[in-house]
Amino acid sequence: MVRKMQQALMTGVSYMLPFIVVAGMTIAISGICTSYFSLENEFLTYFSTFGNTVMSFVPPIMGAYVAFAIGDKAAILPGFIGGWIANNPVLEGTQSSGFLGAIIAGFIAGYLVEYLKKMPFPSIIGSLKSMMIIPLVSSYVIYLLMVYPIGIVVGSIYTFIVDALLTLSAAPGTAVILGAILSAMCAFDMGGPVGKIAITFVFAVWSDPSGLGFMVNAAVFPGIMVPPLAVGIASYLAPKKFTTAEHQQAPGAIVTGLVGIAEATLPYAFRDPIRVIGCNVIGAAVGGAMMMGFGISTPGVSGIIGIPPASNPLMFTLCIAVGVAISVVLMVLVKKPVTEEEIAEENVEFDIEL
C-alpha cells in the first residue's frame, strides 16, 4: 500500500509539473519585463494574472491525478473537486489546506472510488454504476470531507506549517539551515524520491502571498544544478580520477546542469556513490544555505532560467558557483585514481555493447 501511495504521489507531481512550468515562466517573464525594462502596461498585468491563474490549477490537478493513479479515470472528478476545495475553502471561517489538502483529497478520492467499484450493485442499476453512482457518491463524500474535517483541521495545520516556515526563513540562523536541508535533499538522490519530497514542499508553499515559495524555490536550485556541474568540471580537472566513459559524459553533464537536470550525475554516483554524493551534498547544502541566508528568491523553474527573474541575479549566480566550487574541490581531493581493474571492466563492458 505504501508503494502504491508513493507511485500515486509521483503521478500527481508529474501531471502537475507542466502547470508549474507555465505558471513559473509566465510570472518570471512578466517580472523581468517590469524589473529590467520598466515596462508596465495592461497586457503585462493580464499576463501576470494569467500566470497566477495557472498556478491556482495546481492543487486541483494534483488531487485529480493522485486519485487517478489509485482509482483510475472515475477518481479524477472527486480528486479534482477535493483539490479545488483545498485551495478555495467554501466554509466561512476555515482556511485553505493548500497542497497538503489536495494530496489528502487525492488519496481519499482514489481509495473511495476503488472501494465503490468493488461494491455489489443490483443488476437493474449496474449500467449506472460507473456513469452516475460512483461519480455522484464519491464527489459528495469528498465535498463533505474537504469542507468540514479536512477544511478545518488540515487547513489549520497547513497554516501552522507555513507560519512556522516563515518564522524559520525570517531568522538568518534558521533560514540557512532550512536552505541547506532542502538543497542537500535534492543533491542526495538526483531526481529521486528524497529530492522530490523537497520539491513537493516547494510547490506546497509556491503561491503563498508572503513570497516564501519563491525563496525556498531558489534554495533548491543548488541541489539540482551543483551535482551535474560538479562532476563534469571535476572530470576535466582530475582526469585520472574518472573513467573514459565519465570523460565522454562530462560535456553533457555540464549542459544538463545548466538547464537544471540532475539525473546526468547518476552514472558518476553509481561508480563511486559515497564520494560523489557526499561531495555534491556538501556543496549543494552550502549553496542552499547561502540562498536562504541572503533572502534570494526566484519564480524561475529550471537551471539558468531562474537567474534573470531572481531578486538578486548576481548573488543567485554566486550561490550556485560557490556550491559547485566546493563540490569540485572536494571531489578532486577525495576521489581515488581509476584503477587498472576499473579500466579493464570498462573495456569489457564496451566490447559487450559492441
Answer whether residue 109 shows pLDDT above 80: yes
Most confident of 103-112, 122-131, 146-155: 103-112
For position 209, what pLDDT does the model report?
Answer: 64
2-35 helix and 58-71 helix, angle to the nearest 10 degrees: 160
- Of the three residues 132, 158, 184, the one that is the final residue of a domain is 158
Do residues 349 and 204 both lie within one domain?
yes
Both 248 and 129 in one domain: the answer is no
* pTM strictly above 0.85: no
**Residue 191 banded pLDDT, cuts 50, 70, 90:** confident
| 154 and 180 in a common domain | no
Asked if the structure places residue 129 within a domain, the reply is yes
Residue 260 has pLDDT above 50, yes or no: yes
Asked whether residue 183 falls in the same domain as residue 81, the answer is no
End-of-domain residue from the set 158, 193, 210: 158
Predicted confidence band at 343 (pLDDT cuts at 50, 70, 90)? low
pLDDT, position 115: 94
At CA 81, angle to CA 126 and CA 67, rounded to 5?
Answer: 65
Residue 346 has pLDDT above 60, yes or no: no
The verdict on 9 and 80 lying in the same domain is yes
What ranges in the chain are assigned the alpha helix state H? 2-35, 42-56, 58-71, 76-87, 98-118, 134-147, 149, 155-170, 172-189, 193-204, 212-237, 244-258, 266-271, 273-293, 313-334, 340-353
CA distance 10 to 31: 30
> Is residue 221, in this structure, part of any structural domain at all?
yes
Residue 163 placed within a domain: no
Please check whether residue 168 lies inside any domain of the structure: no
Highest mean pLDDT among 135-144, 163-172, 258-267: 135-144
pLDDT at 352 over 60: no
Q: Can you read off the three cell numbers belonging to residue 142? A: 469528498
**143 and 179 co-located in one domain:** no
Q: Which burial class, exposed, middle or buried, applies to 60 when counting CB atoms under 10 A from its CB (0-12, 13-18, 19+)?
A: buried
The pLDDT of residue 345: 57
Could you list the residue range(s) of the whole structural domain that residue 83 is in? 2-158
Pair (262, 291) in one structural domain: yes
Instruction: Work out the percent of the chain whose per-residue pLDDT is above 70.
Output: 93
Identify whether residues 192 and 297 lie together within a single domain. Answer: yes
Cell numbers placing 327: 563540490
Structural domain includes residue 164: no
H-helix or E-strand containing 58?
A: helix 58-71
| Number of domains comprising the chain | 2
Same domain, 151 and 13: yes
Classify residue 140: in a domain, yes or no. Answer: yes
Residues 266 and 237 in one domain: yes
Residues 127 and 59 in one domain: yes
Q: Is residue 218 part of a domain?
A: yes
Q: What is the largest CA-CA distance in the chain?
A: 75
Q: What is the per-residue pLDDT across 273-318, written as a single tens digit (0 to 9) for each?
A: 999 999 999 999 999 999 999 999 998 877 888 898 899 999 999 9
Q: What DSSP state is assigned to residue 264?
A: G
**99 located within any domain:** yes
Is the pLDDT at 120 greater than 50? The verdict is yes
- How confident is the prediction for the chain on average, in pLDDT? 86
- pLDDT for 348: 45
- Give yes or no: residues 325 and 253 share one domain: yes
Domain termination residue (choose one: 128, 158, 188): 158
